[in-house]
Structure 1
Amino acid sequence: MDITLHRDRCVGAGMCALTAPGVFDQDDEDGRVVLLDTKPSPAHHAAARLAAGLCPAAAITVTAAREPGSSSTP
């Protein structure tokens, strides 16, 4: 699983930190999203995907990790 943050989009709603506290938090200074775990364990994948879907600003993108040696071209 790869997680990308778009902090410039974040409005600080906190849905990510509430939904997946093992993966996300909020910055103490500005309230925007902070990624706690760049490669969360499979136990956190569902919560991370849900948090991305609940984000009102679409500031979180979750994608499946590419397999080592895989190519994006057929």
Structure 2
Amino acid sequence: MAKKKASVNVASCVACGVCRLQCPRQAISIYKGCYATVDENLCVGCGLCAKACPASVIEVKERDVING
């Protein structure tokens, strides 16, 4: 089964935290002040983080999700 999930290009992320502030599920955190990471268990694929990202390094795309 595929669901939409946010994905961060960590090589280009500047860890500004704008995406984290926009996420209604608190699915995004900043790893050691270096880049954003997404908790796929919390992410609902709404795309608010991608729209808010000033560096345009987040995209929401279909991901295979295995239940069980």
TM-score scaled by length of structure 2: 0.67
| Uncovered stretches (5+) of structure 1, i.e. residues with no partner | 68-74
The equivalent of 1:23 in structure 2 is: 27
Percent identity over paired residues: 22
Deviation readout 1:6-54 (Å, 9 max, x if unpaired): 0011011101111115211111x233101122563xxx443xx111111
Q: RMSD of aligned C-alpha atoms?
A: 2.3
In structure 1, what residue type is equivalent to 2:5? D
Q: By percentage of residues, which structure has more strand? A: 2
TM-score scaled by length of structure 1: 0.63
The number of residues matched between the two structures is 60
Q: By percentage of residues, which structure has more helix? A: 1
8 Å contact 1:25–1:34 — kept in the other structure? yes
Which 4+ stretches in 1 moved above 6 angstroms? Answer: none
| Uncovered stretches (5+) of structure 2, i.e. residues with no partner | none
1:10 corresponds to 2:8: no
CA distance in 1, matches of 2:7, 2:45: 14
8 Å contact 1:2–1:38 — kept in the other structure? no
8 Å contact 1:10–1:59 — kept in the other structure? yes
Structure of larger gyration radius: 1
